[in-house]
Amino acid sequence: MAKVQLRGLRKTYGNFAAVDSIDLDISDGEFLVFLGPSGCGKTTTLRMIAGLVQPSSGNIFIGDRDVTETPVHQRNIGIVFQNYALFPHLTVYENVAYGLRRRRLGEVAIRKKVADVLSLVQMEELSERYPRALSGGQQQRVAIARALAIEPDVLLLDEPLSSLDAKLRLGVRRQIRELQHKLGITTILVTHDQDEAMSMGDRLAVLSAGKLQQIGEPREIYRTPANRFVADFIGTANFFSGTVAQDRRSITTPSGLQLFCADVLPGVTNVMVRPEAIRLSAAVSKDRSEIHGDVIDISYLGPVADVFVRLQSGDVITVRVDSLWADTANIVAHSEIAVRIPEEAIVVIS
Ligand SMILES: Nc1ncnc2c1ncn2[C@@H]1O[C@H](COP(=O)(O)OP(=O)(O)OP(=O)(O)O)[C@@H](O)[C@H]1O
Ligand SMILES: [Mg+2]
């Protein structure tokens, strides 16, 4: 187990910076998730930490050791790749034993270690099978067992769940999380799936175009995104820009929409409102905090429904409501509706 520190980490290919000066401190035992769109530099960063890609500049520390120049096999890192890459000609047992044999462990110690890690991922029963006779999720668990067998200081997981079906993915997610809790291994997971990131990470590091956009706990990133990119990438957001009134209590957009807010700095501002923070009512009243609009469409997502509302100002917003409530509250398409945006729902972003 060890902390990981990235200092000015950079990787360029010609003039293109795949990873652009990343500074990051990952605590001992932390579960950190790198999240960002395709091509933003997640895999490149992970491969630099592993020692598979040489940085163009910057440093990597594992524990108190500068490992920037240290070869892969001396970094004591467990890696699970997206395509799980088990050795097809080796049984589950031999796949897991592979790294231990390379470390010249004795046969008795190997047998014990393999049994231990296979039982952690609940695969001990299938130890004599070949990878081709395993499901995707089972192969994935073997790959994780193989990475854990060498007792790594750091576990690196690059989209390990992307080839699993939705149901299985949920199960393996929980397993990885529980395992990580139990073993306390510093873990870095790469994903472009925001649900996966939010549900697994102690903290998320959001990347875009090789740059770190924000680092923080899932709740913090969701509630107070550092900028529009983060707000848009994580969850759904309604964006407005407008001018703050003298009394700092309202914002008026160019379309004429007035949003009431708590003490916002004067000037032109950009704000975000999460769809679940907006209130709807089929009964329209004359309350001044009410905005009137028409329901354009409703999209049922099971437990919740997204209601698309065109406000009188012409702005179209998304409101997320409990779908059972939507049924009973008579929220239907092509009807007039009252919208309330509570002032605490308005989040100023840069
Ligand atoms: N060997 C290389 N030569 C040139 N460009 C590269 C090389 N490896 C990666 N890149 C570029 O660097 C950028 C970052 O790639 P990377 O694989 O880190 O993205 P990613 O965030 O992991 O994306 P994905 O979610 O699609 O896996 C991409 O634009 C990619 O095309
Ligand atoms: Mg990648």
- The protein residue with its alpha carbon nearest to ligand 1, atom 14, reads 41
pLDDT of the residue at 6: 98
- The protein residue with its alpha carbon nearest to ligand 1, atom 17, reads 43
Percent of the chain at pLDDT > 90 equals 74
| CATH 3.40.50.300 intervals, the chain | 4-233
CA of 34 to the centre of ligand 2 (A): 10
User: H helices of 121-271, where?
Assistant: 136-149, 166-183, 194-200, 218-223, 228-233
Q: What is the pTM of this model?
A: 0.88
Q: State the pLDDT confidence band at 168, using cuts at 50, 70 and 90.
A: confident
What's the rounded Cα separation, in Å, for the pair 204 and 129?
36
pLDDT of the residue at 84: 65
pLDDT digits (tens, 9 = 90+) for 212-245: 999 999 999 999 999 999 999 998 999 999 999 9
- Ligand 1: which of 43, 47, 49, 193 to mutate, most ligand atoms within 8 Å of CB? 43
Nearest ligand by distance to the CA of 34 = 1
Is the confidence at residue 264, as pLDDT, over 90? no
Question: What angle in degrees, to the nearest 10, is found between the helix axes of 136-149 and 166-183?
Answer: 20
| CATH 2.40.50.100 intervals, the chain | 239-349
CA of 223 to the centre of ligand 1 (A): 29
What's the rounded Cα separation, in Å, for the pair 255 and 107?
74
The contacts of residue 42 (CB under 8 Å, 6+ apart) are 34, 35, 36, 158, 190, 191, 192, 207
* The CATH number of domain 4-233 is 3.40.190.10: no
Q: State the pLDDT confidence band at 205, using cuts at 50, 70 and 90.
A: very high
pLDDT digits (tens, 9 = 90+) for 58-115: 999 999 999 999 999 899 999 998 766 799 999 999 999 999 998 888 999 999 999 9
Tokens of 233: 């990438």
Residues within 6 Å of ligand 1 by CB: 13, 18, 36, 38-44, 192
What CATH class is the domain 239-349? Answer: mainly beta
Is the confidence at residue 246, as pLDDT, over 70? yes
Tokens of 171: 């199960």
DSSP state of 129: S
- The protein residue with its alpha carbon nearest to ligand 1, atom 25, reads 38
- Ligand 1: which of 13, 161, 233 to mutate, most ligand atoms within 8 Å of CB? 13
What's the rounded Cα separation, in Å, for the pair 155 and 169?
19
